[in-house]
């Protein structure tokens, strides 16, 4: 699976990562994966929170 490969890549590169649901496309779930340097977890979480709010209309 592609998501497993990307997660492994993030771990190997010592990145922090998060994924957000973005809705469905042709009946399949679509997500957004954000990655950042390992020492910027707080910034990544704030960005994820803002993206989740911005993407909320897509998930309705």
Predicted pLDDT of residue 44: 94
Mean pLDDT over residues 48-55, rounded?
91
Q: 4 or 29: which carries more pLDDT confidence?
A: 29
Q: 10 Å Cβ neighbour count for 33?
A: 13
pLDDT grade for 5, boundaries at 50, 70 and 90: low
3-state secondary structure the chain: CHHHHHHHHHHHCCEEEEEEEEEEECCEEEEEEEEEECCCHHHHHHHHHHHHHHHHHHHC
Domain ranges for the chain, please list them: 2-59
Instruction: Please write the tens of the pLDDT for every residue from 16-50.
Output: 988 888 888 898 888 888 999 989 999 999 999 99
The residue whose two tokens read 């950042």 is 36
């Amino acid at each position: 699976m592609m998501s497993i490969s990307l997660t492994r890549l993030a771990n190997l590169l010592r990145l922090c990562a998060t994924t957000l649901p973005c809705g469905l496309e042709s009946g399949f779930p679509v997500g957004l994966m954000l990655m950042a340097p390992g020492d910027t977890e707080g910034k990544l979480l704030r960005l994820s929170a803002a993206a989740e709010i911005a993407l909320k209309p897509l998930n309705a």
